[in-house]
Amino acid sequence: MARLHLHLLSDSTGETLEMIAKAALAQFDGADVTRHFWPMVRSKQHLDRILQDFTANPGLVLFTLANPETRGHLEERCRTLGLPHVAVLDTVTHALAERLGQEAHSRPGARHVMDEAYFRRVDAIQFTIAHDDGIGWENWEEADIVLAGVSRTSKTPTSIYLANRGFKVANIPLVVESPPPTSLFRLRGPMVVGLTTAPKRLIQIRRNRLLSLNEKAQTAYVDESRVEKELSFARRMFADNGWAVIDVTRRSIEETAAAVIKLHQERAARDTPPQSGPKPI
């Protein structure tokens, strides 16, 4: 299979474009793809410098460029070079414009405007970092979500991912010999979610962690009976407290976070009283 050069151009950070490309590439097994990432492209001069790489590494061009002049220049040069090019948000934007009855704004990086949502996300990230690994339990009531699970069940990376989506998250490691603070069982505001995984998978992850730290790979930390006891201890705690449980064995961080967000949305919908409409005549 020939190698594909994939050029990703954005007039902002390119986060959206990268996520779309990653999701699309996941549909193809064994694809040999070299990605060329070009963020913050906001002038013809910048674009002209990038086009030199197009000539050296021709391939598929995916872009999100709001400025009509810059976009037109890119499209013209791609046609000249015979390169396929796709404006990845056009179809969605056109569909929304048609349904909303208004034209879309040509606003580079509009999703990163420093509005209330931006500052809420910053606050969430700061809170989450300050409440990682059981720290700051006195303030857990301020969290939106609390993740609980034994060591190496992806609590921290999932917390950070959720924080980037605007959720204040705390996480707590569950250790058989050291029960969590009693405040965990008295929380009213936050949604507590238990993370669990298959014992063999957990042992493999822990062994890899020990190897990366140049530590012995044969310790109680990776002992099969000990690991099963830890997971049983955690599952029993989840069940006793009626917490939602997510098995992360075959889930990526993004998939785990998506499952947590869905649970949070369902909980919010249940807690929101129905709006009273007009009484029937």
In the CATH hierarchy, which top-level class contains the domain 116-271? alpha beta
Q: pLDDT, tens digit, for every residue of 136-159?
A: 999 999 999 999 999 999 999 999
Residue ranges for the binding site? 149-156
Q: pLDDT, tens digit, for every residue of 242-274?
A: 999 999 999 989 899 999 999 999 999 888 765
- Tally Cβ neighbours within 10 Å of residue 247: 15
Q: What is the mean pLDDT of the chain?
A: 88
Pairing of strands 33-38, 4-10: parallel
CATH: 3.40.50, 3.30.1300, 1.10.3470, 2.60.40. Which one for 4-110? 3.40.50
Query: Which among 113, 119, 55, 45 is positioned nearest to 82, based on CA atoms?
Result: 55
pLDDT at 8 over 90: yes
Residue ranges for the binding site for ADP? 149-156
What is the value of pTM for the model shown?
0.64
Q: How far apart are CA 235 and CA 195, in angstroms?
A: 9
Tokens matching residue 109: 């990086």
Query: Where are the CATH 3.40.50 domain residues in the chain?
Result: 4-110, 116-271
Query: Which among 78, 26, 24 is positioned nearest to 53, based on CA atoms?
Result: 78
Q: pLDDT, tens digit, for every residue of 131-142?
A: 999 999 999 999
